[in-house]
A and B are shown apart, each in its own frame.
Chain A
Amino acid sequence: MTKVVVAMSGGVDSSVAAVILKQQGYDVVGMMLRLWSEPGKEDSNRCCTPDAVALARRVAARLDIPFYVVDAKEIFHSTVVNYFLEEYLQGATPNPCLICNRTIRWKFLLEHALAMGADYMATGHYVRLRSKLEQKSDREAEEKIQLLRAIDRSKDQSYVLHVLNQEQLGRALFPVGDFPKDKIRKMAEDEGLPTASRPDSQDLCFLAGEDYRKFIKRNAPESLKPGDIVKRDGRILGQHQGLSFYTIGQRKGLGLAFAQPHYVLAKQIETNRLIVGLEDELGQNELTVENVHWIAGKPPDSICRVEVKIRYSAREAWAEISQLEGGNIRVKFDQPQRDIAVGQSAVFFDGDVVLGGGRIVANDCV
């Protein structure tokens, strides 16, 4: 029998993923990561509180599948949390979920699953997979696995999984990506799962439900050097409390009193200056991406017109992409885009197919 480890979180999606796989006849095993929490805040970590573990355990018992908790506290802290703080120290805006998926869930946990004799690992992510034969020559064809956006576009999570490679995708199953979210909730209710009515997760798990600024204050206070708020021409408008407290595109909380609202355009780490401007200054036509990862293992041969997502919650925008020297990618949007933040990933789509993506480096507005 084909053995699948389901990475469970105590939430409805991974629970139903286990249900679907069981119905499909797999030998299903539940596993849960014990991630890092700030000392003293273990009970509020969103996805691995004792409460969430208990829920996942109950789901597993209900489905009559074995369930194990795997400790990942140290590696989570040394990779994901450190990256998160480091990016803020650099004046960038991190997306720790990407790093977690690449190094924790789809590496550390996958290795554990394979060591247990699993053939596949599944998660409750809303994405799909498709296998495609690519002609290498007249004689040879190579099988590639494509990552596709979810049927339910409003729930699509392909942005955070664009970091996966062929090897990882070859071991991956995403059973909920073929269904709309309300269907998944319905299945959970029909199965009588205790997680059926649990709200969707929103924040970063290790923030324990708090604003990230409080976390930064405690864990990277050195990033909170006050400095000048300036216009692009260098005119000083006020004082900021530390660059990591601000997000690109932010309007509220700047403490500026002008007739027209001002927005954060960029952070200048060398000078510790927060650059602000008016709404019409927010848009940018171009950006550069580094550390580009292509899901197929190489850049696409032909496509240069793609849709690009510059944040998890951003809407896709049409753009032309071109290769720079050294593998970086230059993106030229059809329409100017707001809120492009250094440190976030730009992810490229060809229709439903996720091509890949990388870290946004240049913020060209200054």
Chain B
Amino acid sequence: MEETIYLDYAATTPVDERVLKFMLPFLNQTFGNPSSIHLFGQRAENAIEVARETVAGVLKCRPDEIIFTSCGSESDNLALRGVCFAMREKMNKNQILTSLAEHHAVSRTAGQMAELFGFDVEWLGVDEFGMVSPQTITRGINNKTALVSVMLANNEIGTINPISEISEICHKQGVFLHTDAVQAAAYLPLDVDVLGVDLLSLGGHKFYGPKGIGVLYVRKGTPIFPIQTGGSQEFGLRAGTQNVPYIVGFAEALRLTELEREKRTNHVKPMQDRIIGSVLENIPDTKLTGHLEHRLPNHCSFAFKGVDGNLLLTLLDSAGFACSSGSACKTGNPEPSEVMNLLQLPSEWGLGSLRITLGEATTIDEVEKFLANLPMLVSKARNLK
């Protein structure tokens, strides 16, 4: 097990040593409840507010537009449910515009809003690269639209959506736009004014922060209800005692990510090029999934004809390489993911997805070792099928 090479940084990342050090005093020294009146509470509260400013600094927004949540999925839920319920209550709008290529935290939330709460969901189409085109937004918006939600970058296939163009259209129509930036945050700039978004979701563990902590950016003036009610923490939008050590860890990890963005990108990009080139050249019946250019710089994803993706992952793990099919499924129950279904691949390609995502600790030696093994393992998987 010790020699296993980790190539699944899109699933999660290890906590940066510097971040870990930063967090530790908040577990047992500055441990107060941030809502308490006394000095213990004040110190904890201060830590949160400093963290909020740090995050706001990266997003180029006001600190009181940052809501700490428990994870990216919760942020997505708060954005969709919170805004849609408020828009229906206040403006009588009940349409949600989103796509099936979204993370389940968005697509299944939208699905439930339609099924149980009477909202209309308009499912946006995507092109063969999994990209949402601004034109489909123009066509989908109407005077009932409460919220548009389009992810910044896709977790399974790495495609980056033209969010700035989409936001322009939304704003011309006076419609609010949410983007799930959970997968994008490790490499893409998150300036909310450049992106033009009204809501933006983040999860700490995708950029060397801890798991169990997320952020939702909510632009001032966006109608939104809390979906978890109770105390008045987080400006009344998210009740519950704040997770102080994780909040400061999130902020420090995001600060470092912003600071080192270029360096980190330059570290992974050449290895991404090497993997994509080598796999397409050396393995027959292989396609790159997602966009070649508009994609996250650490993200490689492929479809192999006639391969059971789960089986390939098993063989890879056994050979010492930890990868993903893009959608985590450990049950051995092969169903092509919604995203793979949207890419217009012939059916014998749909299950054969493989995602390789690189990170800070990835070395070119590891990549070469992986590339030396992959063709043989793909052919094994094809023979077993």
Contact = CB atoms under 8 A, between A and B. Distances in A.
Nearest to A71: B332
Given A69-B331, A71-B332, A71-B333, 5 more contacts: A32-B332, A70-B314, A70-B332, A112-B314, A117-B319
27 contacts: A29-B318, A32-B332, A34-B331, A34-B332, A53-B332, A66-B317, A66-B318, A68-B332, A69-B310, A69-B332, A69-B333, A70-B311, A70-B314, A70-B332, A71-B308, A71-B310, A71-B311, A71-B333, A71-B334, A73-B333, A111-B384, A112-B384, A115-B315, A115-B384, A116-B314, A116-B318, A117-B319
**Of B319, B332, B334, most A-chain CB atoms within 10 Å:** B332
A69 B311 CA distance: 9
B380 interface: yes
B1 to A, nearest CB: 7
Nearest to A111: B384
A53 B331 contact: yes
A300 interface: no
Given A34-B331, A50-B331, A71-B310, A66 B315 contact: no
Contacts of B331: 34, 50, 53, 69
Nearest to A3: B318
Interface string B1-21: 100000000000000000000
A303 to B, nearest CB: 39
B330 interface: yes
Contacts of B334: 71
Contacts of A53: 331-332
Contacts of A117: 318-319
Interface of A: 29, 32, 34, 50, 53, 57, 66, 68-71, 73, 111-112, 115-117
Contacts of A50: 331
Nearest to A65: B1
Interface residues of B, number: 18
Interface residues of B: mostly helix, strand, loop or mixed?
A: helix
Interface string B68-103: 000000000000000000000000000000000000
Contacts of A71: 308, 310-311, 332-334
Contacts of B319: 117
A57 B310 CA distance: 16
Contacts of A73: 333
Interface string B307-337: 0101100110111000000000011111000
A34 B318 contact: no
A8 B381 CA distance: 21
Contacts of B380: 115
A70 B331 CA distance: 8
A69 B330 contact: yes
Nearest to B310: A71
A115 B385 CA distance: 12
Contacts of A112: 311, 314, 384
A158 B336 CA distance: 39
Nearest to A73: B333
Contacts of A115: 315, 380-381, 383-384
Contacts of A111: 384
Contacts of B308: 71
B306 to A, nearest CB: 14
A224 to B, nearest CB: 32
Closest A-B pairs by Cβ, 4 of them: A69-B332, A34-B332, A116-B318, A68-B314
A57 B384 CA distance: 24
Contacts of B318: 29, 66, 68, 116-117
B1 A66 contact: yes
Nearest to A64: B1
Contacts of B314: 68, 70, 112, 116
Contacts of B311: 70-71, 112
